[in-house]
Every structure is written in structure tokens, then in C-alpha cells.
Structure 1
């Protein structure tokens, strides 16, 4: 972000260009612009678009782009400097707290704590020791040369509290940022088959050609240097080979191995020459997991209610994907581009709808959902991982669900509510399930008293079913009580009409489109009335 600048529109109508960095505070921009125009910086604030910026923030945290337009507006309250409560967190876990004026430099703050706080010499080591003090505030590193120049007001602090991270580093490691953790390394995945292949030694066959293992074996730096000396073909003769790839010995031309898929293969191909085309390794066998828990299904009341625990659910087996998995192929990019173009055309060509037309469309969606799904399935999750699964009608109210849950609670008279997540939305008791977008199924969450378990009564927990039993009960209801109607991408729609009815509707639409207006008497085909006094001459 070198060479970053912002343009400040002053109250007199003049524009001031201020050069900034990501660590420049908003207060510094106000003071520099006010100094050029002869204004009092304590009377103004900066405004970006419709947002008033915090004077204690900096350019990085304010989200200001390069060459943005800022406006100086009059502050509702005059900004008056006050003392700042400075908290210094050391590497040993010690926290030093004291109030300082906003004009105090950071070096004066360190000297005050060295003399009055009882810290050792390592808190502020001398220059001869080869170490220096580093303070970090809002991702900004301040080293020894800057400590005597930077004041609290320079950081945008004229009141309130602040936290500074203190660390002592050697002069050689000045470029390392203090108190910033390194990125977590990816957990290695052990493959027994790969380890066995890596242990195999590459032997020469009878023809003298080198035979490569199924999977590439990582080479050490010495082996790479050895192979680079023996390479017969230069990198210029291989245009498709990336430069970062390890050197490969090519002794003779080999026929190309056809690819099994258009996408990039997750396992890199070995380009070492072979006497015969090597077959691709067979895909790993996928074994179905056997059901760990037995099918235990106990209904606890009406609405096919079942209580179970999510702790009994089998663990989800997820493996680490390779970086090639997240890279889009050319076909996927073309498909995404076509979908975006189609969505943009639909938005541009969509007709304007009045409020009554929008209400009618919403009501039609609701009626279609009610006819498509006569039953909606709900799962009410409690904070202790217990779940009550029940079935309701789309026209039932949220209050009916709340009253249904009360007999199963440890405290039936408790005041609670039901909500959804992503986004978080508390459901009103007077709302129907179809209006609350809980059709055909929904996941609701219990919120309210009591704040700690148990939430369900002992009698309810005694009839707890297994996770597999709850899933099988839900699948059985889905297969028997759904209607063979279609669903579109935009919402719930009925099935497509038959061919005869669709053709009839097309003919009617064509007839209506070509039929002339009834107000035109010449085109209606009706015979006009002849007045009595009119006589046709011979």
C-alpha cells in the first residue's frame, strides 16, 4: 500500500490531499487537513460515505480504500484531550497500568514503569546488550527509534484506555512481528499404502529401463542435484512442464497415458520413462459404515414425537482435500459464467410488480407449499444436545409447538421461545409454520429458562430413542406422506401440466394475442345496425 493517499473535502469547499499509510490514525488525517486550512481539528470529524469515522481508529481498521473521498463535518461535541489509561502487557504475563496525558511519548511511558513499577532491567535493556524493545498497538510495530517520537495522540488516543504489547527482541530479528502466532501447519494424513510404496526400492528391469513406483517418492536435495546433472533434456524442450517441478530423467519417448477425467488428478503423475505404459492405480474401495447404534424408536406423545440425542450420531468422516480440489476447471468457470449471465438477464427482464401483485405471488407460494407438503417435520434442539422430533401441519401456529413441548420440559411453566439460526430469528407465537418458512422441514432452537440442564424431564429422557431410529422414522414418514409434485429452484411450485392442457393453453394465449380489440367495430365481424331512414339505392 505504498503511495496511499486520501482526499479530504474541507468545510470551505477546498480539497486537501493527505498522504497516509495503513497505520495512520484518523486523528492524524484531521489534524493535517486542518493545519493546511487553518482550522481547529478538535471541532471536526471525518465522514466516509454515510459513516462517521472513529478518530481513535486507523486507516487499516477503518476500511478506507486508496484515493477515497473523505468529508470533514462539524463534531456535535468539542473534542477535549484527557488522560489515557495505558495497559502494557509483558511477555511474562505482567500487566502495568497507569494514566498518562495524551502528549506523552511511548519512551517516557517505558521509563516511568522502569523507575516506579519495580520491573527488572530486561524491561528496558540498554543498547549495548544487542536487544531492543518492541511495542505493538493495533497491528502496528513500534521499535526503539520511533518510541521517542510517537505519542499517544499520534496513535489517535486522546482519552479512554488502550493496550500495548511489550516484548524484547534482538536487533537481528527486528523484522519479526512480536506476539503474532505463525500459521498452523496442516495435520499430516498417513496413508499406509503410500508408506509401503515409498519403502520400495526402484529396481531396473531386464531391458535396463528404470521402473517408477505407483506414487512419487519425495527426493532429497542431494538427489535433486544428482538428477539435475544427469538430465538429458533441457527445460526449454518441455514447454508444458512447470519450472517449480523437480527434475525428471527422460531417456526415451513414451506413449501418452489417457486421462480418466477432465479435472486435474489429485495424485501427480510420474514422468519417469518406463518400458511399458503403466496402469493407473485402482480407485480406493469405499466401504459402507455399519450402523453402530440399534434402531430404537419410542414415541413420547402425539405428532409422532421422538426424543433422541445428537451425541449418539455417528461421527462424520472428513478427509483433508488437496489444493487441486479447490481449483476450478475451465468447464466449471464456463458453467458459473453462464449461470451468472442467466441470473442477470432474469433480473433485467423481470417485470415491475405492484404491492398487490407481490402479495398475490407470496400467497400463491404459501398455498402451493401447503398443497405440496401436507406435513412439516420439525426438530427442536436443546442446549444439552437433546432433540425432539415431531410432525405438524403447515397451518399450525408456533404457539401450538410451544404448548406441545411444555409437558416434556423439566419445568413446564418456564418461559421460553423458539428461534432459527443463520440468520438468527425469533419466531412469533402467532405466526404459522408456513409463514415462518418452516415448511417442509425446519430446525428450531430452544431459548429461555432454565439456563442450565436438565431441560427435559426424567420421564421424557427415559423414553429416549436412538439417532438411527429417529432417522428411520423420518424417512418412513417422507416416503408415505409426500405427493408426487415438482419443486422449482425459486420455490414451491406444482407439477407441470399435461401435454393436452398445455397445448390448449397455448392456443388460447395465441387466440387472445391475435384477437383484435372489441372497441374497433370494423374488425369485430359483427353487422352494424342500419337506420330506418337509410335506403339502399338501385
Structure 2
């Protein structure tokens, strides 16, 4: 595709010059001056009132196609000085000397590499992606036509045919794949599988010990005779201990409502099958309100063994599955507009509204008492504040509810569904006047703090309420 440049002359006339990518701006100036009778050494070219370098080639000048260059007279006559030219051979050898810009390329080659250049069948000079091929073109090409007017220049002298210059150099050739040994095929290395799992797990690196544990517990593998005996011993040991509760990964605001390890006592007398002791639940108000203390639950948690906090095989599988699902969802997720994001948010809210008919709210006070109540997803947060005010020791004081982290004060005019409090959430209580939060020693009325329920009882109350609601809805 031919490119064109318009030169605006001092006499307000325009001249169009067809340019090539390897043409210098000095050649453009000389063509315009020769056409209209101007001296090129007394003029310069400007683009947007900024003088451009005449030694640059058009492809490297950054000028757009069909641009307008203004030709203006210069203060001093442009003089040409000697240029230091260096020519490098294909083996890395170099020779340099000073030459005038009017010197031809062939003269430079003969002076620096006269003996070597005579043995070349097709000598080629490469300068700034400009190729001068053959002796005839070298004899007609000067340093000035290449844009070498001052300073230094570096060229390469090659012995190649014009057809070979069009071929691509440094083509990548993949290495040959070595055949794997039989042991490697049968037993893949743990480090490679660990690296693969860590690469696609969204930043969670699994160690080799975890992967070994996963492999041992894989359902496809059949244990040997020794492993079968050890597994039977482990099963008999596990039967003596009560089953650990499953984790509840809550999706509401604040912290998830995880169920603590139940402190069950089994009756030694009576039936053969042990029955769990039902925790005591003290309902202190409407909405199945119960009150418990975190200090009492922490005392029971101190008695837990260290093995209780270790990851099991099922826990690792769940974590790996969730992380892979999250990573694949982030990579494949399309770009959404504001309207589509709002539509997705409304669809998620409708899904929660259809799935959960009630939500559990826990309001934690600064004195580590927790008040629990049952609410509907479509109720406003103002209803929750009215519910809390009935239990306060100073109900006339203004307060607000917030979630952490980070601290976000919840507006009373929004619903629990909009505040992401469904199916459960932990809200924190604080007076609007900050001094009251430190001076007041008792936030709730004394008659309610005397009717405490354990944290297990609070979970039991939620389960019993949901079972009752499910049975009523099924019968109706």
C-alpha cells in the first residue's frame, strides 16, 4: 500500500510526495525542493510546529499517512560532517572508520573489508531494516540516502542470496519427548500432581502429604490385606467416639453460624442404644428468642483435643472442589453490564427467597452475650431493632446494628434479603453515643441474663423450629 505525504511550501503551495517505508525524511525534503526550486540545505520540515529529524526513516518517524509537513527556512545552513561507520561480519568481526555522508556504501565496504567482500558472491548490507543487495545497488546508494548524516552508524555485511533473506530465522524446534519408564507410568510423582493441583486451585497449595492422604482414601482403590486389617482397627476405634458434626458454610453476612462440638453424655443404664441428652432451651421472648454467652461456650471449646482441628480427607476434598469451582467460574465468567449485574443479583435474591422461608439472626453485644431470633427474609431491619429494644436495659438510648469485617452500619429501611442476611447472619450491637459502650456494664435486662441457654441449645432451637415448620407445611 503506497503512502503519501503533503509538503506545505513557504509560498503556500502544496506538493504530494509518494513515500516508501525505508525512505528518509531528507529525501522527502529534497524531492519537494527540487520540484519547486528551493535549496534543501536551507530548509527543514515541521509537523505540528515541531521540527522533525531528517535522518529518520518514514517507518520509524511516527508520522501518519497523508500527514501535512510544513517546510520552513532554517537560521543556519545545514552542514554535513564525517560519520563514524562500523561494519560487522557474520562471524562477529568488526571494522570502523570515518566517512563523508556522500560516500557510497560500496566504497565503505571496500575500505573496511575489501578482501573479504571480494569473496562474497551476493554481498548484502543491512542497516535499520533497510537492505542494500548486490554491488550495483551499493555503488548507487550513499550514506546520505540511508539517513546517515552525523554521529555513528552500525551495519552488517552478509553473504546471502535475496531469496534467503525472506526466510524466517531462529525457528523454534520442540525438543524430543523421551519415553517414560514403566515405574513412572505406573506411579506418577506426587510433586507433579501437587503442582497441578496448586496451579488450578486459585492460590491454595496442597502439600504432598495431603495428596497422599487423598490417594489412600480414594474410593476406586482397593486396599490390600494389611490395609484392610488396619482400616478395621480404625473403624472400631472411631465407633467408640461420637461422630463429629459437619461444618456449616453459611452464606449470610458476618461470620457463619458453625455448630460447636456437642458435649453428649450417653446413658449407661436402660436401652442398649445410647440416646443423646437434649440440651435445655429457655425461650425468653417472641420470635423464639434465646440468649447465650460466648464465654461459657469458650470454656467448653478449651477442652477440645488438637486432633479436632486437623483437616480430614473429606475436608480437603470439599476445599479442593470449591476452589476449583471458584477458579473456573472466574475464568469463564463473561463481562456483564450494569443492567445484567443487577438482573443476576435479583435472580440470586429470588432463589434465596424460594429456598429459605426463615432466617436466623444473632445479635452480639459488647459484653459477649448473643441474642438469637427468627425472622422472615422480607422483613425490614427496623423490625430487628424493635425486637432488640425489648431486651435492652436502657431501651430509650439510640443504637445501630452493623456487620464486620469491614464495619458496615446497616440501614433500618432495607430488608434482610437485601442486606444479605439470609439464611443466617451475625450482627453486632453498638450505641450511637460511643461513651455508653464503655461505661455501661450491662446491656440486657437482668431477668433475661438469668435465663441463659447454651450454644448447643441455640442450635437445637433452630433445628426444632425448622422441623416443626416443615411438618406443618407438609400436612397443610
CA radius of gyration, larger in: 2
TM-score by length of 2: 0.39
Q: Which structure's relative contact order is higher, taking Cα pairs within 8 Å and 6+ residues apart?
A: 2
